Structure 1
Amino acid sequence: MKLLVLGGTVFLGRHVVNEALARGHEVTIYSRGLHGTPHPDVEQVIGDRADVTPLRGRAWDAAIDTSGMTPAQLRGSASLDLGHYVFVSSCNVYPDWPERPVDEDSRTWQDGEGYGQDKAASERVGSEAMDGRFATVRAGLIVGRHDNIFRLPWWVRRIAQGGRVPAPGAPDRPIQIIDARDLAAFCLRLAEERTSGAFNGTGPIGQTTWGELLAAAGDAELVWIPDEQLVEAKVQEWTELPMWLPADAYPGTWRIGTANAQAAGLTTRPVADTVEDIREWLQTGGEREIGDYRAELRPPDMSSEREAALLQLV
């Protein structure tokens, strides 16, 4: 299969390229060439998502779009000569999420401005332009090596340092993640099989718990701090203790239905395998590899003073 990957050098796109090459596909990537290093066995075309002129006059069996953010970008790329189009969207297209559980039939944003609204509008543009040859994969929390946002790697690194570690909420609280390798494989499957539709790309509900996930990262002493005390201490949601949101305020966070995706072939590996892969990546210089792309979104290191203050809450 001749495959066009829009993106392909940073995180998920990099895994898509690796998986495509492992399956014997011929890969072209389209990116600005500013971040990451392209795989030596792919063709790289340099250009901006806002202008796909460098790709005109060519044809691909399928495209996997890991970088599209706006309707204008989708309008351009969907106008290319493509047999099938797989667009990596986000669960942020659901206006009810994360305050309420969602599934693949839940309503999506139909107007407004913002990340989720733009992704939802992009889905509509792509679906209309491709006329039945379009799949949208609404990604949940993507984790794994090459993670330039560094959420789960933050925990793996901190726990490897040992000592007493503040842990959010309760160890039996569920969490949903998806290894970037599994999401990449699913996107490739949709492209290969010309599958259309909307799919939630994350692990199944009840996949694992916070306790299981963090325990897999090492033998540090995890000190579980209830949500109420974290809120009172003004712990910044999602970033200061990465991936944490108060359960009462956001009960739908880890209840994203994936029935359609599983029926279409999505499978997810044990979280311990993901954690081990991240640990190995960190040990071989993973932090140096990711550069500064979107560094402003990464969770900051927690000072020893802040850790000590949180540990005194329980």
Structure 2
Amino acid sequence: MLGGSHHVGRAVVETALERGDEVSTLNRGLSREPTPGVQTLIADRTVPEAVRRALGAGEWDAVVDTWAWAPRTVRDSARLLAGRAGHYGYVSSRGVHRWPWPPAADESAPLVDGDPASQDAADYAAAKRGGELAVTESFAGRALLARAGMILGPYEDVGRIPWWLRRLERGGRILAPAPADTPLQYLDVRDLATWMLSSAERGLAGAFTVTGPPGAITLGDLLTTALEVTGFDTELVWAPPELLQHYGLPLGMELGLRLPDGSVPSGMHDADVSAALAEGLTTRPLRETLAGTWAWLQAEGDPTPRADAPSPDTWLDAAAEQRLLAQLSH
């Protein structure tokens, strides 16, 4: 596991150990204490010679990589591992598809350009696409590109469900972005980890859109189930998008329901995932995802946000919320 300390990487390590796999992690060793039962390799991935020394003479059946920054780092790691690993699973993103995403898009939707030699991480979509090209360059026919949608569940450090759970915890009346029947598409991080590992075991290769089935849940399902799981005494007040826009509240953007200009994006929550489902992807009930997330937050506290994640204050100005709530109560 290249990484292994946060979100997807941590879930992959824990799932692999539960399966009885022998696990090695390679990271800088700065974020968390080494996981018991894991071979810990220490190196800065941006320094190829340090990675080479850390790998030593080791060989592995499979590699999982979640890198989301400069593609050259993926390229260098993949080249070092090409002769000593059988399979390379790269956690990519639906963001590699050219915007705007067409409704019901599958793996054939147009892609952005990417450069595996690039050292630029500013453009997330191009960086992920460059990472894909870097992996397939060294692991032709042995690379799995998991183009993930919204990933939820324990260890989430992007600022979606943990942020909502803390909002619900405060109680009282709070705004929610209407309509409640807006469809959502997501995948529990543990289901992604399970699929990545079982796919590596089978040698599955190619690019797959990886998220939950379209139409399975709505925003209303998400928030009401969160209230049921936590037991919070909180009232959801559903506010139309035009009112949220008028009051300068970007609520809904955190879940990909709105764009900065207030418009509703197409293709965000209706991806065709039939290919991944046919290859064994399974999804657990929403209640398990939310309960697992809340249990983790209670046990470990709020995570340190990713450097590229929005500030927790981005989605809601408290004073503006109260003004809109007052209007909606008349």
Q: Distance in 2 between matches of 1:303 and 1:49?
A: 38
Secondary structure of the 1:198 match is strand
Q: Deviations over 1:161-198 (max 9, x none)?
A: 22111001211010111111111111111111110011
* Cα distance, 1:68 vs structure 2: 4.8
Q: Distance in 2 between matches of 1:213 and 1:170?
A: 13
Match of 1:299 among 294, 299, 312: 312
Q: Which amino acid aligns with 1:6?
A: L
Q: Deviations over 1:188-233 (max 9, x none)?
A: 1111111001111211111200000000111521111111221222
Q: Distance in 1 between matches of 2:63 and 2:276?
A: 19
Task: Identify the residue that residue 180 of structure 1 maps to in structure 2.
Answer: 189
Task: Identify the residue that residue 84 of structure 1 maps to in structure 2.
Answer: 87
Maintained 8 Å contact 1:99/1:249? no
Could you say if the C-alpha distance between residues 119 and 172 of structure 1 is closer, same or farther in structure 2, counting changes exceeding 3 Å? same
Task: Identify the residue that residue 106 of structure 2 maps to in structure 1.
Answer: 103
Could you say if the C-alpha distance between residues 98 and 225 of structure 1 is closer, same or farther in structure 2, counting changes exceeding 3 Å? farther
Maintained 8 Å contact 1:138/1:201? yes
Matched, 1:13 2:48: no
Q: Distance in 2 between matches of 1:111 and 1:42?
A: 34
Matched, 1:67 2:67: yes
Maintained 8 Å contact 1:172/1:210? yes
Match of 2:34 among 34, 38, 41: 38
* Cα distance, 1:304 vs structure 2: 3.9
Q: Distance in 1 between matches of 2:280 and 2:179?
A: 32
Q: Distance in 2 between matches of 1:285 and 1:307?
A: 29
Matched, 1:146 2:146: no
Match of 1:170 among 172, 175, 179: 179
How many residues get paired?
A: 307
Could you say if the C-alpha distance between residues 99 and 313 of structure 1 is closer, same or farther in structure 2, counting changes exceeding 3 Å? farther
Could you say if the C-alpha distance between residues 169 and 99 of structure 1 is closer, same or farther in structure 2, counting changes exceeding 3 Å? farther
Q: Distance in 1 between matches of 2:35 and 2:167?
A: 30
Task: Identify the residue that residue 283 of structure 2 maps to in structure 1.
Answer: 268
Matched, 1:136 2:145: yes
* Cα distance, 1:125 vs structure 2: 2.0
Q: What is the percentage of aligned positions where both structures have the same residue?
A: 37
Could you say if the C-alpha distance between residues 69 and 101 of structure 1 is closer, same or farther in structure 2, counting changes exceeding 3 Å? farther
Secondary structure of the 2:92 match is strand
Matched, 1:118 2:127: yes
Task: Identify the residue that residue 28 of structure 1 maps to in structure 2.
Answer: 24
Could you say if the C-alpha distance between residues 295 and 123 of structure 1 is closer, same or farther in structure 2, counting changes exceeding 3 Å? closer
Q: Deviations over 1:117-153 (max 9, x none)?
A: 1111221221121110000001111111211223111
Task: Identify the residue that residue 226 of structure 1 maps to in structure 2.
Answer: 240
Maintained 8 Å contact 2:105/2:272? yes
Q: Distance in 2 between matches of 1:117 and 1:196?
A: 21
Q: Which amino acid aligns with 1:57?
A: A
Secondary structure of the 1:126 match is helix
Unaligned runs of 5+ in 1: none
Q: Distance in 2 between matches of 1:309 and 1:146?
A: 33
Task: Identify the residue that residue 272 of structure 2 maps to in structure 1.
Answer: 257
Matched, 1:311 2:311: no
